[in-house]
Amino acid sequence: MENDGKRRLVFVTVGTTSFDALVKAVVSQNVKDELHKRGYTHLLIQMGRGTYSPTKCDGEDGSLSVDYFTFSSSIADYIRSASLVISHAGSGSIFETLKLGKPLIVVVNEDLMDNHQCELAEELEERKHLYCARPLTLHQTLMKMELESLVRYTPGDGTPVAKIIDRFLGFPDD
Amino acid sequence: MEEHHCCFYSKMLSKFSFGSFLIILSLFLMFRLLYVLYRCGKPFPKGASTSFSTLIVLGSGGHTAEMLSLLSVLRMDRYTPRFYIAAATDNMSLHKARSFEDSLAHKPSAVKESSLQYAQIYRSREVGQSYVTSVWTTLVAIVHALWLMIRIRPQVILCNGPGTCIPLCGIAFLFKVLGIRWSSIFYVESVARVKKLSLSGLLLYKLRMADQFFVQWPHLQKQYPRAHYVGCLM
């Protein structure tokens, strides 16, 4: 896919903590090259409390433009304007992206002590809603990524829970 | 001599009555405990009440989003008044709860501002805190939770982890045993738990403290048959 002059944004989010390994992985040369090859024009990184700041690049020479910020209250707006989202494995970011119907690569933080987060990402990958990677395998995942094979996620809601709670407490069904 | 006897008897009597008091008390508590364990998880009769005072325990980030997703489909006039509790270190969750309540304010089922309350609770242990200082902070957290629960005395508790809900649910259970307040605890395990329950979930399930227990992935329901599988909240 070649760049036809349109802005195609890759948005990277690490959530409320820090995840330097992810930031380093996305700005590594082979990942940037692969993104550029696939027609993405901008790389925007929300880096949280991380200490590693990547080199900014305005992309005027036709290369991938790189920019970053620490926090924002309007992450949803960035996701909405993105063509691809690369996210940490927190359930908030995952479902926010899936609900907006954006292609998603989740990168699992292997440094976390209680690493139950990969359970969710792996389950959703099995159901073909997203791709799951580690910082070191991000490049490989990008290489094999086929956006057409992703299945759109149908959001659930709390209706079944509400029904059971209502019945338990003796409320009539409406 | 007689005086001495009298004193002796009254001592015996007080000893006896104190001992029997202890025995009666522990029998009573044992009976209450068995009764509470028997009654837990049994549904209320139809039309038991028109509304229940409800405590909503907010986790953080993803947990709070899931809880609000549940609240958005509950008939809120049935769960009034409402008390929101979040961890002292979590400033976002109560803010989100407030904007959720503001969004309800236009609906006909809206409640008066006075029937909504928000509080923060100390956590027993922060990530990375040493175990020695956490003895003290755990004590503070329990006393604080007790104080809040005495004030609130909810009839319904909605929680979905993480650990913040454990002292509150424990105290609610104690209130049930002591006959202070009967409350129904509903626990929804987080969507992030696919194959294993969280520690909070495991405790509430194993100790039968949750009246109804919900999981969002089918695999967990197979492992924990008393849980309801309800699909993803998100």
A44 Cα to chain B: minimum distance (Å): 22
pLDDT tens digits along B87-136: 988 888 999 999 999 998 877 666 777 789 999 998 776 666 777 777 88
Cβ atoms of residues B111 and B76 within 8 Å: yes
pLDDT tens digits along B155-186: 999 999 778 899 999 999 999 999 999 999 99
pLDDT at B109: 65
pLDDT at B12: 66
pLDDT tens digits along A46-100: 999 999 999 999 988 889 999 999 998 889 999 999 999 999 999 999 999 999 9
Cβ atoms of residues B104 and B75 within 8 Å: no
Chain A nearest-CA residue for B128: A113
Number of domains in chain A: 1
Report ipTM for this prediction: 0.89
Query: A66 in a domain, yes or no?
Result: yes
pLDDT at B215: 98
Q: Is the pLDDT of residue B205 over 50?
A: yes
State the average pLDDT for chain B: 89
Q: What percent of chain A has pLDDT over 90?
A: 82
**Domain range annotation of chain B:** 122-229
CB contacts of A169 in chain B (<8 Å) are 43-44, 48-49, 52, 78, 156, 184
**From the list B66, B193, B212, which residue is nearest A165 (CB)?**
B212
**From the list A99, A168, A172, which residue is nearest B43 (CB)?**
A168
Taken as a whole, chain A contains a residue count of 174
Residue of B49, B67, B194, B200 for testing the chain A interface, max A β-carbons within 10 Å: B194
Of A60-64, B147-151, B213-217, the one with minimum mean pLDDT is: A60-64
Residue of A18, A161, A163 for testing the chain B interface, max B β-carbons within 10 Å: A161
- Side-chain-facing half-sphere of B106: CA atoms under 13 Å: 3
The CATH number of whichever domain residue A30 belongs to comes to: 3.40.50.2000
State the average pLDDT for chain A: 92
Query: A2 in a domain, yes or no?
Result: no
Q: Is the pLDDT of residue A161 over 80?
A: yes
| Mean pLDDT on B125-148 | 82
Q: How confident is the model at residue B8 (pLDDT cuts 50, 70, 90)?
A: low
**From the list A16, A120, A169, which residue is nearest B191 (CB)?**
A120
pLDDT tens digits along B11-20: 766 767 888 8
| Contact residues for A132 (Cβ-Cβ < 8 A; gap 6+) | A105, A106, A108, A118, A121, A122, A124, A125, A141
Q: Which residue bears the tokens 């104690």? A: B174
| Mean pLDDT on A125-151 | 96
Under an 8 Å CB criterion, which residues of A touch B? 15-16, 90-92, 95, 99, 116-117, 119-120, 122-123, 155-162, 164-172, 174
Using alpha carbons, select from A1, A48, A25 the residue that is nearest to residue A141: A25
B73 Cα to chain A: minimum distance (Å): 6
CB contacts of B61 in chain A (<8 Å) are 15-16, 90-92
Q: Does A170 sit within 8 Å of B43, measured CB to CB?
A: yes
Q: Note which residues in 139-178 of chain B have CB less than 8 A from chain A.
A: 156, 158
pLDDT tens digits along B26-41: 999 999 999 999 999 9
pLDDT at A3: 46
| Mean pLDDT on A22-27 | 96
pLDDT tens digits along B19-78: 888 999 999 999 999 999 999 999 999 999 999 999 999 988 789 999 999 999 999 999
pLDDT at A138: 97
Using alpha carbons, select from B63, B23, B49, B21 the residue that is nearest to residue B184: B49
Chain B nearest-CA residue for A93: B62
Structural domain including A127 reads 9-168
CB contacts of B234 in chain A (<8 Å) are 91, 95, 99, 155-156
Q: Which overall architecture, per CATH, does domain B122-229 show?
A: 3-Layer(aba) Sandwich (3.40)
Query: A81 in a domain, yes or no?
Result: yes
Q: Does A169 sit within 8 Å of B230, measured CB to CB?
A: no
Query: A164 in a domain, yes or no?
Result: yes
